Amino acid sequence: MMSGNGNLLDRALRDAPGVAEFSDDSLIAAMLRVEVALARAQAELAIIPASAADDIDHCASSLAVDADELVREGAQAGTVVVPLVRALTRAVHARNAEAARHVHFGATSQDLLDTALAICTQRAVVRLEAELASVQGNAVALARRFQSTRALARTLLRPAGVTSLGFRFAQWAVVLARGRTRIWHEAKRGLAVSLGGAFGTLAAFGESGAALRSDLAARLGLCDPGMSWHAWRQDWVALATEVALVVGSLGKIGVDVSLLSQSEVGELSEPGGDGRGVSSAMPHKRNPVLSMRLRAGARAVPGLVSTLLACMPQEQERGLGDWQLEAATWPRVFEWALASTAAASTLLGGLEVHEDRCRDNIDATRGTVFAEPLAHVLAGVLGRPDAQALVSRLCDDVVTSGVPLQEAVRTAIRTDARLQRLDVATVDACFDVEAATAGAGRQVEAMLRQIEHGE
Amino acid sequence: MMSGNGNLLDRALRDAPGVAEFSDDSLIAAMLRVEVALARAQAELAIIPASAADDIDHCASSLAVDADELVREGAQAGTVVVPLVRALTRAVHARNAEAARHVHFGATSQDLLDTALAICTQRAVVRLEAELASVQGNAVALARRFQSTRALARTLLRPAGVTSLGFRFAQWAVVLARGRTRIWHEAKRGLAVSLGGAFGTLAAFGESGAALRSDLAARLGLCDPGMSWHAWRQDWVALATEVALVVGSLGKIGVDVSLLSQSEVGELSEPGGDGRGVSSAMPHKRNPVLSMRLRAGARAVPGLVSTLLACMPQEQERGLGDWQLEAATWPRVFEWALASTAAASTLLGGLEVHEDRCRDNIDATRGTVFAEPLAHVLAGVLGRPDAQALVSRLCDDVVTSGVPLQEAVRTAIRTDARLQRLDVATVDACFDVEAATAGAGRQVEAMLRQIEHGE
Amino acid sequence: MMSGNGNLLDRALRDAPGVAEFSDDSLIAAMLRVEVALARAQAELAIIPASAADDIDHCASSLAVDADELVREGAQAGTVVVPLVRALTRAVHARNAEAARHVHFGATSQDLLDTALAICTQRAVVRLEAELASVQGNAVALARRFQSTRALARTLLRPAGVTSLGFRFAQWAVVLARGRTRIWHEAKRGLAVSLGGAFGTLAAFGESGAALRSDLAARLGLCDPGMSWHAWRQDWVALATEVALVVGSLGKIGVDVSLLSQSEVGELSEPGGDGRGVSSAMPHKRNPVLSMRLRAGARAVPGLVSTLLACMPQEQERGLGDWQLEAATWPRVFEWALASTAAASTLLGGLEVHEDRCRDNIDATRGTVFAEPLAHVLAGVLGRPDAQALVSRLCDDVVTSGVPLQEAVRTAIRTDARLQRLDVATVDACFDVEAATAGAGRQVEAMLRQIEHGE
Amino acid sequence: MMSGNGNLLDRALRDAPGVAEFSDDSLIAAMLRVEVALARAQAELAIIPASAADDIDHCASSLAVDADELVREGAQAGTVVVPLVRALTRAVHARNAEAARHVHFGATSQDLLDTALAICTQRAVVRLEAELASVQGNAVALARRFQSTRALARTLLRPAGVTSLGFRFAQWAVVLARGRTRIWHEAKRGLAVSLGGAFGTLAAFGESGAALRSDLAARLGLCDPGMSWHAWRQDWVALATEVALVVGSLGKIGVDVSLLSQSEVGELSEPGGDGRGVSSAMPHKRNPVLSMRLRAGARAVPGLVSTLLACMPQEQERGLGDWQLEAATWPRVFEWALASTAAASTLLGGLEVHEDRCRDNIDATRGTVFAEPLAHVLAGVLGRPDAQALVSRLCDDVVTSGVPLQEAVRTAIRTDARLQRLDVATVDACFDVEAATAGAGRQVEAMLRQIEHGE
């Protein structure tokens, strides 16, 4: 059973019974893996006997650890590493008393825990990357498919003009592509081995300290940070902030889908099926639970990041409280990121587009969304202030009279002497939807090219 | 097994395998309890047949619910209530098809979940209250025992004067007493039943809506909020902010104990024993893990509260993402509060005071901590600016020469013509430790009286 | 000129050139007022000569303080109090050298600053209270005026049923009334004088310490906290959390208005006029800038509260960094609260309701919002699972066919043998809008009564 | 006068009368600069007449803008850009009516404001970079000067072993060097021009949109983002998170200096002079106000970053509330970063090191800080569990008896049969300070090399 990653509501909100990468079992296995790699690297550098490394490896592989006991004893000691190392040492001692003194040699609890978290995080990042790639692929496909589907652009929750759905989807794709690059780039330096010894000086390893850290890093597929980072968290926390940024971007997608799928807007629908979004009371409802998850993720992560940042000024060679809280908080950021990415993947994989509603919504504005180019044209004869005022008034009339703006402006040209110089064709051109969305089309092309070229 | 309340590191940091009040089992049981109470109240008001309430009660009592399945199906539906109600309805249907339509009648998912969370929270508050009372009792005992033990007061991490340990402990006691009052007061109105029906209007219950809500509240020992609060979270979130304030106060105790128990200060020690605070690498260390927990709690909770507050502007009649995230975040605040309170209880129950070190630290300042009253006395003959400047210079000399301030000022009186008017006895009185701490003593009395009188 | 309360964008977003209550001038005046009141209280208790109090009063009244100089020197000293007291002492010294030693006697910087902030905050709370009362009044008026105006209720951004606008507005009124009570109640204990002396023990005042604090509190119209609270911030920060809760509630009103005033929904409009919400590019737009402000406030305050809470664990007798940051952050919470309240006042004072659009939106659901009562009725003959499934299917058909649900279910009754027992009148009653909103009406009455009775 | 960047306490805490880069004047000037550059770029691409660009340039250069009026009108309009563009248009219109229609052509408020903020931010980053370089230089100098000065390492606020001051200072240098690289790298892509037009599609510019954006970027020395980023804030907010990470690292330096300069520790002192850190009440005090500022900065920024992240999910083509709040919050992050960097520069430039106290503090541990290597040696004969237990007991005895650990273990060797195999020289080697800090020395070399090579 995967458990331990959150309460019932937490797990349901993230659609995850638990996150395998940070489950108790994964974390314990990662810590034991570090002990083994450390022993092997030390044996390689003749810091400990090779046979001791064999014994440690053997015992670590078969060590049975009870997570709840680890919690209980770890709470007393201040870290779960103490009882874990004690258990491993005991097991090695039972096999070969001499080898037992080489367990965890020269390392400190934080070395073990930070490195184990880096291992778990690396796995989480690999999964995140794969899912983000799939989301991006879906966004690209949507951008291509609906490249010329026109729809309202909205700013400050008001219709602003006509854009294309393809433009919107291409933006999703570009931002996700850049987000992937960010995470990947940061992971390369942030997922580092920790090896400093009791207080960072690598004191126990004589001249071999740096070589040992480098060897350990290579064995674990992590980077060598070139320093002890027990109390220096900049490059580590940076990975979480990069991930948080992507969760924020996914949250924006969630906000947009939820707004565009309101009944009164109706341009998009979440994929249905399998009881998704059914209500306990209202049989007619299909709640947008994927958007919900994306929105919740983007709301949850900022508080977590503020905790990680607040934990940065850790005291002296190892902090009291801050480091421990950082480590306990860390997995949540990735849990949310994985939840958001999975939701986005399902959402974009089955997103329904209602082109008729897109058209209807444009029509319902009765041309007022073309007020901006119209005002520019009128400014040629009226000057800008008067032109803006006139168009603004005409738009107000559209709302009350229901007469479309294009018609209203034609009437104005006939009746307003100042406008007689105006060419009706030029005015009509302002209402040309195809021209209006040409810019969007060009940008879609440019954005898709960017993605292809990995910019 | 209690689980599901956090990852391995989380649970170890809080010294809790899980928090029973918000475990999967507790939450599920609370939800079922609400369904039963709802049915009973509806039967009472003749909204549903009494026999249906019997059937619902019977089935709810024996319903086997798999938490992981609930998570999985709840994730699809957007809330765990949907599969839970479905399971209960199915069970009731199997027993009595007619009764099945009365399950969850007129209520909505959020009614069930909010009320169940209020039930779980109430239990957490009761435990919190009991533990806080014990911490307060320990603080009072410490205040009495060390009422006249003198120690340095420190401001901005610098020695500032002489106070008494009793004064410090009495402040702990008063603040905790006030914190308890805060939580208790808020719990009385914040722990409310939720009953609004699908969108808050109590539509299904005809004229009996308000009576039903009131009856349900009475059955569950919760308060009747007098309104539907699906999307209005003010009185609910307020309980969490009160709890957060107390965690902050406990954090201050943790900061102070950790600073005062630094080796170089040595005035306090955490209770030892049972492997508390042992290090994986350093056999000489006793890490202050109780302070650590208090510090971590006070650092963790602000981010959680910011999430709860950020979730307040929930959309229309029920929010999309915000409510769900609030509910998932809610238990963490109480988990931390319980962890901090338990740590404080152990800490204050066994706090060691090193009176010799308190004395030594006062002595080590060589009287400079009496500079303030001294400057006031000197100001009588020199005027305040010159007096402050002189005392400031004398204090600097103390640091370099090692000559105590009292001696230095006596020398100054002999050699500085401006000071000849000064009475040496008046100057000496500035260095009277007993007089200096009389104010602290009076305040201890007043604070302990406050607590006794429940002010 | 009022300035210093934020950058250009900050001030514009809050529609405030600055907040008078926390302007440089207000804060400086409040600090001087505290010095005068302290001297007067000390003279009353014969701690200092009455003539010294006269001199201090006289000089404080006419002291010219340059805020920028205060900032510069205060930065060096660590607090603006140092140069302010220095300037006041210098002025008093110039008038009467002997009196100068009685300036700020026995007090510490934090006493002065905390008390001055309490004075400024009290004024802010009084203004907040007045504005909230007006907002509440507007909400009550709206609730009465639109008590029986029917509109869609929406949950998770989906139509859920039919409610009344009056129900919604009455909720606004009740929550604001409760919020006012919260703030008022907390202000009574939170707006306390600070007087502890250098490190909290009231050492300089002999037996008169408590009496002096009490007298000072009375003179300043603040409460006597009964303790030194330099490093104990629970009761102080509590006032900010109460205010934050109300900003959250106002944010919800902003979210709702902004959603309900989307063009495609059109049920509400913000009051226009005076160039409110015009666009730099788009003459047709009227941006909902009042909702914008409410939303921004509710998003800004959680981060500020997290900072205040994070600053609670202040070291020993006075913290290093935390207290100072708390004080610098404090005004922002109230600035936002005042900005939100002012925006709400304008918004509710001129809110436009479009009853036709409310009706249209109900009609556009083609009866699917009555699915819940319908399913309950059908459950009587089909059992609940089948009834829910049938209604769910019928609702899906409504969307595709456009045939209203009421008609569809009548057809079903004619064609589906299982439904023949059903009484058509009972089914039709499910679609009775008046009956559907009766519950809302009853609740409006109850809520307005609550407000009248000050519950 | 520089003003508007915060209240009195805020400015004093940051030791800044205001931050020039984000002052009202700077922001207004930057916005006008963008309008001019836009016009010039459009003239270059024949989108508007060259003469219109001349007129716009001329009028923008001499436009008198009243910031308070801008705030007032901007509040009404929802953005200060509306009144600014109106004023500029009016001025251009007065000079040449035809040119007026080309002001701000095709751009939207957010284009102007985001680009202006990028200009202001770029200047702030340049200053930040220069100051960080100087802080780093100071850290390198300290590392060299105190390379072999031994001092206690402390973990969880407890002595852990012996390190060198040079090791600590070299860590400061490396982390700051990496932080600079982070900020610089991110600034290159994050400081981008914004040009999307009313809703991101560059609709008004026909085929020239992308070229115009690129030209505008070149003119302003900003990067071309390759997309419209009105509602996509990932690459922008990323710059703030990088800066926040560095503020966190500086906060750690502040925490360490404040702890190491406690009277009881006394290893470091902040530079004094010029009234730095004087107290209003206590003439003997020198408060560590530079550490205070670093600590406050690191506590302030996490809440701000959480706000920026929370503002990321902006609605559709331009958000309602979130974007505006992000822009208003943005300057604060940089204000704090500049304040922290300036404080660090003064702090490291004059940091006093007390080598005698470093030695005394090592001696005061009576050798217990060498318990770790000792336990390892003893494990060779006792096995690890017994060795750890023995050393732990010996350390406890040291505390009670005062007998140094080295002596105690020698006694044990003589009296404990199990230890007879031990070579006293090997045991004595455990207490060799020079050997103990050799690892630190090697790491200092490596870290300083890293910095030199710009790794």
pLDDT at A315 over 60: yes
Q: What are the chain A neighbours of C286 within 8 Å (beta carbons)?
A: 158
CB contact under 8 A, A4 and B1: no
Can you tell me the mean pLDDT for B61-71? 94
Can you tell me the mean pLDDT for A159-183? 97
**Residue (of D209, D226, D204) closest to D105 by Cα position:** D204
Whether the Cβ atoms of residue B150 and residue B433 lie closer than 8 Å to each other:
yes
Query: Structural domain tally of chain A?
Result: 2
CB contact under 8 A, C199 and B302: no
Name the domain boundary from C331, C356, C381.
Answer: C356
B74 touches chain A (CB under 8 A): yes
A95 touches chain D (CB under 8 A): no
Tokens representing D169 are 């200072």
Asked if D305 and D334 sit in the same domain, the reply is: yes
Burial class (CB in 10 A: 0-12, 13-18, 19+), A133: middle
Query: What domain range includes position A42?
Result: 8-356
Please tell me the distance from the alpha carbon of residue C419 to that of residue C386, in angstroms, as a whole number: 11
Neighbours of D216 (CB within 10 A): 25
Q: What are the chain A neighbours of C405 within 8 Å (beta carbons)?
A: 284
pLDDT at D127 over 80: yes
Please tell me the distance from the alpha carbon of residue D261 to that of residue D266, in angstroms, as a whole number: 5
pLDDT of amino acid C449:
95
Whether the Cβ atoms of residue C336 and residue C304 lie closer than 8 Å to each other:
yes
**Residue (of D177, D182, D178, D181) closest to D138 by Cα position:** D177
Q: Which residue has the higher pLDDT, B32 or C97?
A: B32
CB contact under 8 A, A157 and C288: yes
Inter-helix orientation angle C322-349/D289-310, to 10°: 30
Burial class (CB in 10 A: 0-12, 13-18, 19+), A374: buried
Name the domain boundary from A309, A330, A356.
Answer: A356
**Residue (of D408, D152, B276) closest to A198 by Cα position:** D152
D221 touches chain A (CB under 8 A): no
H or E stretch covering A160: strand A158-164
- Cα dihedral across residues B25, B30, B32, B36: positive or negative: positive
Residues 366-425 of C with CB under 8 A from B: 372-373, 376, 379-380, 383-385, 387
Neighbours of C289 (CB within 10 A): 28
Whether the Cβ atoms of residue B282 and residue A198 lie closer than 8 Å to each other:
yes
Residues 274-313 of D with CB under 8 A from A: 295, 298-299, 301-303, 305-307, 309-310, 312-313
Closest CA–CA distance from residue B77 to any residue of chain C (Å): 12
Q: Closest-CA residue in chain B for D292?
A: B156
- Cα dihedral across residues A177, A178, A180, A185: positive or negative: positive
pLDDT of amino acid B307:
98
What totals of helices (H) and strands (E) does chain D contain, helices first?
A: 19, 4
Asked if C75 and C198 sit in the same domain, the reply is: yes
DSSP of D268-337, one letter per residue? EE----TTTT--SS-TT----HHHHHHHHHHHHHHHHHHHHHHT-S--TTB-SSHHHHHHHHHHHHHHHH
Q: What are the chain D neighbours of C303 within 8 Å (beta carbons)?
A: 303-304, 306-307, 310
CB contact under 8 A, A262 and C375: no
pLDDT at D24 over 50: yes
Model pLDDT for residues A40-72, shown as the tens digit of each residue: 999 999 999 999 999 999 999 999 999 999 999
pLDDT at D98 over 60: yes
Please tell me the distance from the alpha carbon of residue D159 to that of residue B266, in angstroms, as a whole number: 12
Q: Is position B119 within any domain?
A: yes
CB contact under 8 A, D275 and C77: yes
Q: Closest-CA residue in chain C for B314?
A: C252
CB contact under 8 A, B154 and C199: yes
Can you tell me the mean pLDDT for A286-299? 96
Question: Best interface-test mutation with C: which of D5, D13, D291 has the largest number of C CBs within 10 A?
Answer: D13
* Three-class SS state of A287: coil
Burial class (CB in 10 A: 0-12, 13-18, 19+), D340: buried
Q: Closest-CA residue in chain B for A292?
A: B321
pLDDT at A128 over 80: yes
Task: Report ipTM (2 d.p.).
Answer: 0.96
Q: Is position A54 within any domain?
A: yes
Please tell me the distance from the alpha carbon of residue C122 to that of residue C128, in angstroms, as a whole number: 10
- Cα dihedral across residues A296, A299, A300, A301: positive or negative: positive
Closest CA–CA distance from residue D45 to any residue of chain C (Å): 21
Tokens representing D417 are 């049969």
Q: Is position D164 within any domain?
A: yes
pTM above 0.90, yes or no: yes
Burial class (CB in 10 A: 0-12, 13-18, 19+), A425: exposed
Mean pLDDT of chain B: 94
Alpha-carbon distances of C277 from A392, C35, C269, D316, rounded to whole Å:
12, 46, 12, 18
Asked if D269 and D330 sit in the same domain, the reply is: yes
Q: Is position D3 within any domain?
A: no
- State the Cα angle at C245 between C243 and C248, rounded to 5°: 115
What is the Cα C61 distance to its own chain's centre?
A: 34
Residues B3, B51, B61, B279: which is the catalytic one?
B279
pLDDT of amino acid A174:
97
CATH number of domain containing D202: 1.20.200.10
Asked if B210 and B236 sit in the same domain, the reply is: yes
Whether the Cβ atoms of residue A312 and residue A262 lie closer than 8 Å to each other:
no
- Give catalytic residues of D, as residue numbers: 279, 318
Q: What are the chain D neighbours of A315 within 8 Å (beta carbons)?
A: 154, 156-157, 255-256, 259
Q: Closest-CA residue in chain D for B291?
A: D156
Please tell me the distance from the alpha carbon of residue B316 to that of residue C168, in angstroms, as a whole number: 9
CATH number of domain containing B371: 1.10.40
Q: Is position A326 within any domain?
A: yes
pLDDT of amino acid A280:
67
Name the domain boundary from D325, D356, D387.
Answer: D356
- Give catalytic residues of C, as residue numbers: 279, 318
Asked if D154 and D249 sit in the same domain, the reply is: yes
Confidence of residue C6 (pLDDT cuts 50, 70, 90): confident
Burial class (CB in 10 A: 0-12, 13-18, 19+), B421: exposed
pLDDT of amino acid D399:
85
Asked if D117 and D148 sit in the same domain, the reply is: yes
pLDDT of amino acid A455:
62
Give the nearest partner residue to B161 out of C203, C248, C440, using CB atoms: C203
Tokens representing C1 are 């000129």
Asked if D110 and D146 sit in the same domain, the reply is: yes
CB contact under 8 A, C282 and A306: no
Asked if A172 and A313 sit in the same domain, the reply is: yes
Model pLDDT for residues B419-444, shown as the tens digit of each residue: 888 888 999 999 999 988 999 999 99
Residues B318, B332, B357, B366: which is the catalytic one?
B318
Residues 325-344 of D with CB under 8 A from C: 325, 327-329, 331
Give the nearest partner residue to D76 out of C6, C275, C294, using CB atoms: C275
Q: Is position B2 within any domain?
A: no
Neighbours of C242 (CB within 10 A): 25
Q: Which residue has the higher pLDDT, D348 or D2?
A: D348
Mean pLDDT of chain C: 94
Q: What are the chain C neighbours of A395 within 8 Å (beta carbons)?
A: 283-284
Whether the Cβ atoms of residue A35 and residue A112 lie closer than 8 Å to each other:
yes
pLDDT at C5 over 80: no
Asked if B343 and B325 sit in the same domain, the reply is: yes
A224 touches chain D (CB under 8 A): no
CB contact under 8 A, C314 and B255: yes
B13 touches chain A (CB under 8 A): yes
Question: Best interface-test mutation with D: which of C10, C22, C287 has the largest number of D CBs within 10 A?
Answer: C10
Percent of chain A with pLDDT over 70: 98
CB contact under 8 A, C210 and B315: no
pLDDT of amino acid D16:
81
pLDDT of amino acid D78:
93
**Residue (of B198, B66, B91) closest to A11 by Cα position:** B66
Q: Is position C345 within any domain?
A: yes
Q: Are strands D268-269 and D352-353 parallel, antiparallel or unpaired?
A: antiparallel
Asked if C301 and C380 sit in the same domain, the reply is: no
pLDDT of amino acid A2:
39
Q: Is position A2 within any domain?
A: no
Whether the Cβ atoms of residue A252 and residue D232 lie closer than 8 Å to each other:
yes
CB contact under 8 A, D206 and A93: no
Asked if D152 and D277 sit in the same domain, the reply is: yes
pLDDT of amino acid A383:
84
CB contact under 8 A, B313 and C440: no
Whether the Cβ atoms of residue B247 and residue C306 lie closer than 8 Å to each other:
no
CB contact under 8 A, B296 and A7: no
Alpha-carbon distances of C380 from A16, A282, C161, C388, D443, rounded to whole Å:
37, 17, 21, 11, 79
CB contact under 8 A, C283 and A388: yes
Closest CA–CA distance from residue B244 to any residue of chain D (Å): 16
In three-state form (DSSP H/G/I as H, E/B as E, the rest C), the secondary structure along A119-154 is HHHHHHHHHHHHHHHHHHHHHHHHHHHCCCCEEEEE
Asked if C432 and C340 sit in the same domain, the reply is: no
